Structure 1
Amino acid sequence: MKFSEYFNLNRTQPYLDFVDIPLDTDLPVFLEPSAIKDLRSPWGVELSSMLQTFFDTVLRLIHSGENVKAQQLLSSLSERNEFHLGYSSGESKGHGFGSGSAETVWGALSTSSAAVTGLLKDLEDTALLIPGIGTDMISDAVSNIIRGPLIKYTQDMCVYYGIPLTPAVASGPVWNPQKEIWEESLIQLPMTSHGKVILVPKILVRHRLNYQYDEYYRHYILPEMQHEHLAAHSSLVEVLKDGSERVTKKALMEKYGSDKLAVVEQTKVRPQILQEYKDQKYSKPSAPLTQEQFSEVEAIDLPDLDPIVQELRALDTGRDTAGRYEDLVEKVLSVILYPSLCNPIKQHNIHDGRKRIDITYINEAKSGFFYWLSLHYPCPMIFIECKNYGKEVGNPEIDQLAGRFSPSRGQVGILICRSIEDKEKLYQRCVDTAKDRRGYMLALDDDDIFGMVYAYKQDSEDQTFASLRSLWARLIE
């Protein structure tokens, strides 16, 4: 049984912001450190900082000989099964750094020449340079280090989707980066017949780690070694029939080895290659899993937006159905705008509760329209206002949305209403607001939403965002 089924959410994975995990086993996806470091939101910066401070603290303790403290910190990284991510085929089992014995991991770190020489700087480096540490262990370690923010995320998602929270649940070890200690407390969490659950945003998980030691060795270290041996005319150089020379990767691996110890030894004399590898990974981060990939790994159908469109068409206008209209719009947007926009918040309070925003998304786009926006305009958040009116929207609605903007929250929003009789007049009001430096807003009606859904079904991202690009061009012309 999946989490969504247990709590009768009537939503499948495409309509949820978090990973819809099975409760009795694990889902074979993993928290990826570089995916977290690629986030640009304040929340993402917080997560990245927690990962770095923890690993920096452990390495500092090892270098200073404070072995007991280092082992104590590592011992809290064992996975306690509330995340349900990993390779377990049966009941959830942890593979964290603390599983079995923290002393083993501490020993690997403390005796590694990669740590001693300073090659080891980031948690994900251990996947390249420390024997015995792989994707599942690093994912479990990440889960535990950012447990605090994930607990807050879980609580927010439970409020958003109407999931009951059970009080006085043990938090498990929560990393305090200021005090550099683990802390525990009693908190609210969703409880199931299989125990407590901590949810993970789906934009953070991947099929595997971005750092792979065999990839690094074969495609970065070995080519450099081939060049060096050719230049030195070493005994590994072969002369071919046509007179050309070569050094095979097979010959190099037979002479120098192909395990992580060999990777470390060859990296020590070529540290610039490791930095080159990391720089290239940073410049080309792995993409979030697509709807198709989630469909495959969870064995579920792809999202079918037709029933939602039909309900939108049939929905009456007016105050009584305003909440339902907002729900349907959010369902559509959460599917077609993923993974650019994430972490939706309904009825988001600002100005100490004096103003509310119907739906607020965090903009984590790495490509496409919203990514382009983030490069040129302040839009860490995208604000959505839904108007289930049977009348024409006008200046009051424009002014209401403009009042939600700020330099820190963002200055881009979308006004969605049932119909627009005089589109030119409404568009001009949006242009006037932009020229007055009161923010940028795009006005859409039901037909625009239906057009975006149609384009999405044709598997065309360019066409899905075509109407948004067209309206934006008018705002800034």
Structure 2
Amino acid sequence: MTYMNIIRPRFTEFHDIFVPQAELDFAIPFLDEDIPLYVDPFLLWRSPSLQDKGLHQMILGAFNNIGVLSKSGNQEQAIQQLIAASECDEVGLGTSATKKGTRIGRAKAEEVLSLFERIPYYRDHGFRHFEEVQLFVDGIGKDRISDIACNFIKSFLIDYTAQECQALGVGLKRTVVSNVYNPSSLMFEDVQAEVPIHPETGLPVLFVPKRWLRHVPWINYDTYFRNFCPQDDIAHEGEELTRVRVQIYNRDNYAVVDAYVQARERSLEDCKNDPLFSQIPALWARRKLAAIKKLPTGKDDGADIAYEKLIGQLLPSLLYPQLDFAQEQARTDSGVSIRDLIFYNSRTHPFLQELMTDYGSRQITFEMKNVKAIETKHVDQLNRYLKDNLGNFGVFVTRNPLKKARFSSTVDLWSGQRKAIVALTDADIEQMVEVFDSNQRDPLDVIVKKYVEFRRACP
């Protein structure tokens, strides 16, 4: 199977692993983009797991050893190690659209290493949390912190990834993994390891536990600046208070940074990992439903855009965790702009398995139509789109039930091409919200009911 036919392809779908993200311990990597989350070392530090705490000590020891190298006359070695640690492509975390990042430059590495000399606490004791670097050096942010952490514990990530792949039945390949930190030699080494590889680039892919991931590190510049930074002491009224200016101040006033770090440590119970997907609360779902019902059909005053936005906010939560949301996409058919919601088919429900078996649906398309009535052209457009890994099953999300003639045309499609198209109306969405709110059944059952009704009408 070529993953290029999958919309926003993930590692699991490529390997025919159909397990929802919620049931896996690791964050499922995308094949052509990064996961927009980052490893936060603070989560390892505050973890109840002795393993995580040990890994945090490994990260901290490796980082502080670079400072020792720099102070002991081995600055060139320290610079090269820090540069090597600054990018970890194998884990695929961040915001890169190409899955290929860049390392820091020599000047930036020297600026980081200077902290071990300039700030007495670091000179004498080293870092407690190396994320503190963000408060002193411009250009060192959450992406660098995450990559440095991953590189220093890459040997663990190799073993962890192999273990998860074996549990899922994913084949491994023996290949070279570069820049693996050896805590015995205190050096980065290239090692031979059994790991999964990217289907296009052939490069190693490493998994990261979900419990380590956040959008922003717990210790970060923005919360420091907002809540602890003595802004009036740094800049007088009318003067621009830049990040660099604050960072220079911090280097000469470590006590302020120390107070901030200690405060973050005291509030460790509030530090939680960020989920890859968060369902909206039931109350919000009801509010969005109410807003949908108030919208007129058609495009006047942007009603179509508002409808698509509300449905796009609602459906991913209603269908989670049975269906992982892939993305909202825009496409054009015969000059008409069409917006879809695309979901990964996890096959965890008998109905979802049937969609794969009978219709080849690795992914499921929900086409949003804020129209008074679905017309022949709409059915034709969706029919043309249903192919390849999207399979032969699709859903209209629209305002009213299909008229008899349009419903008959969908039945004819099934008879002639074995394609199934069902429609979710305002009433169906309302029922899904009711089920979601009651937490007694799955909103997916509403779609199952619509499909059963459709199949009963088929010859």
* TM-score of the two chains, using structure 2 as the length reference: 0.55
Corresponding residue SS for 1:174: strand
Distance in 1, Cα, partners of 2:249 & 2:440: 50
For residue 9 of structure 1, report the CA deviation from its aligned partner: 1.1
Question: Separation in 2 of the partners of 1:455 and 1:159?
Answer: 38
Question: Is the CA contact (8 Å cut-off) linking 2:135 and 2:250 kept in structure 1?
Answer: no
Matches for 1:157-176 after TM superposition, within 5 Å: 157-166=164-173, 168-176=174-182
User: What is the CA-CA distance between 1:73 and the residue it aligns to?
Assistant: 1.2
Identify the match of residue 274 of structure 2 among 286, 289, 297.
289
Task: Give per-residue Cα distances to partners, 1:280-328, cap 9 Å, x unaligned.
Answer: 222334211236439999x7852139x96989xxxxxxxxxxxxxxxxx
SS of residue paired to 2:185: coil
Residue of structure 2 in register with 1:81 after alignment: 89
Alignment partner, residue 320 of structure 1:
none
Tell me which of 8, 13, 28 is aligned to 1:5.
13
Q: Is 1:105–2:108 an aligned residue pair? A: yes
Q: 2:189 aligns with which of 183, 188, 201?
A: 183
- CA distance in structure 2 between the partners assigned to 1:52 and 1:127 by the alignment: 15
Q: 1:304 to 1:73 in 2, by over 3 A?
A: same
| Cα separation, partners in 2 of 1:113 and 1:254, compared to 1, 3 Å | farther
Amino acid in structure 2 at the alignment position of 1:55: F
Alignment partner, residue 249 of structure 2: 265
The yes-or-no answer on 1:69 pairing with 2:77 is yes
Indicate the residue corresponding to 1:317 in structure 2: none
The residue type equivalent to 1:150 in the other structure is L
Q: Which amino acid aligns with 1:117?
A: P
Q: How far apart, in 1, do the equivalents of 2:51 and 2:28 lie?
A: 21
- Same amino acid, percent of matched pairs: 24
Q: Call closer, same or farther: CA 1:261–1:112 in 2, change over 3 Å.
A: farther
User: Aligned residue for 1:304?
Assistant: 322
Alignment CA distance shift 1:455-1:276 (3 Å): farther
**Is 1:142–2:149 an aligned residue pair?**
yes
**Relative to structure 1, is the Cα distance of residues 185 and 267 closer, same or farther in structure 2, using a 3 angstrom cutoff?**
closer
Corresponding residue for 1:38?
A: 46
* TM-score in terms of structure 1 length: 0.53
Q: Helix, strand or coil: the match of 1:171?
A: strand
Contact 2:40 2:216 in 1 (8 A): yes
**Structure 2 vs 1, CA of residues 3 and 85 (structure 1 numbering), >3 Å: closer, same or farther?**
same
Counterparts of 1:204 and 1:189 in 2: how far apart (Å)?
21
Alignment of 1:48-447 (within 5 A): 48-88=56-96, 90-95=97-102, 99=103, 101=105, 103-112=106-115, 115-119=118-122, 121=127, 122-166=129-173, 168-194=174-200, 195-222=203-230, 251=236, 254=239, 257-266=241-250, 268-269=252-253, 271-285=254-268, 286-290=271-275, 292-293=277-278, 301-304=319-322
The alpha-carbon deviation at position 49 of structure 1 amounts to 1.4
- Tell me by how many angstroms 1:456 deviates: 11
Higher mean displacement: 141-150 or 110-119: 110-119
| One-letter identity of the residue aligned with 2:168 | Y
In structure 2, relative to structure 1, the CA distance for the partners of 1:456 and 1:91 (3 Å cut) is: farther
Q: Residues 455, 149 of structure 1: CA spacing in aligned structure 2 closer, same or farther, 3 A cutoff? A: farther
Q: Is the 8 A contact 2:25 2:210 kept in 1?
A: yes
- Distance in 1 (alpha carbons) for counterparts of 2:243 and 2:440: 45
**1:322-343, CA deviations, whole angstroms, 9 ceiling, x for partnerless residues?**
xxxxxxxxxxxxxxxxxxxxxx
Gaps of at least 5 residues in structure 2 are 1-8, 281-311, 324-346, 352-435, 442-459
Q: CA-to-partner distance for each residue in 1:345-367, whole Å, 9 max, x for gaps? A: xxxxxxxxxxxxxxxxxxxxxxx
Q: Matched residue pairs, number?
A: 286
Query: 2:297: which partner in 1?
Result: none
In the alignment, the residues of structure 1 paired with residue 438 and residue 189 of structure 2 have an alpha-carbon distance, to the nearest angstrom, of 45
Change (3 A) 1:59 1:25: same
Contact 2:161 2:207 in 1 (8 A): yes
Relative distance call for 1:110 and 1:261 in structure 2 (3 A) is: farther
CA contact 2:160–2:207 (8 Å) conserved in 1: yes
Separation of aligned partners in 2, 1:46 and 1:455: 42
Residue type matched to 1:63 in 2? K
Distance 1:27 1:67 in 2: 34
Which structure has more relative contact order (CA 8 Å, sep 6+)? It is 2
Cα distance in structure 2, aligned partners of 1:455 and 1:42: 38
* Contact 1:175/1:181 (<8 A) preserved: yes
The one-letter code matched in structure 2 to 1:280 is A
Give the C-alpha shift of residue 177 in structure 1: 2.0
Question: Conserved in 2, the CA contact under 8 Å of 1:29 and 1:207?
Answer: yes
Structure 1: 5+ residue stretches without partners: 227-248, 312-453, 460-477
- SS of the equivalent of 1:211 reads coil
Aligned-pair CA distance for 1:132? 1.4
Task: Measure, in 2, the Cα distance between the counterparts of 1:456 and 1:170.
Answer: 51
Change (3 A) 1:76 1:253: farther
Pairing 1:10-21 to 2, within 5 Å after superposition: 10-21=18-29
Q: Following the alignment from structure 1 to structure 2, what is the Cα–Cα distance between the partners of residues 456 and 181?
A: 56
- Given that 1:32 and 1:209 are in contact with CA atoms closer than 8 Å, whether structure 2 keeps it comes out as yes
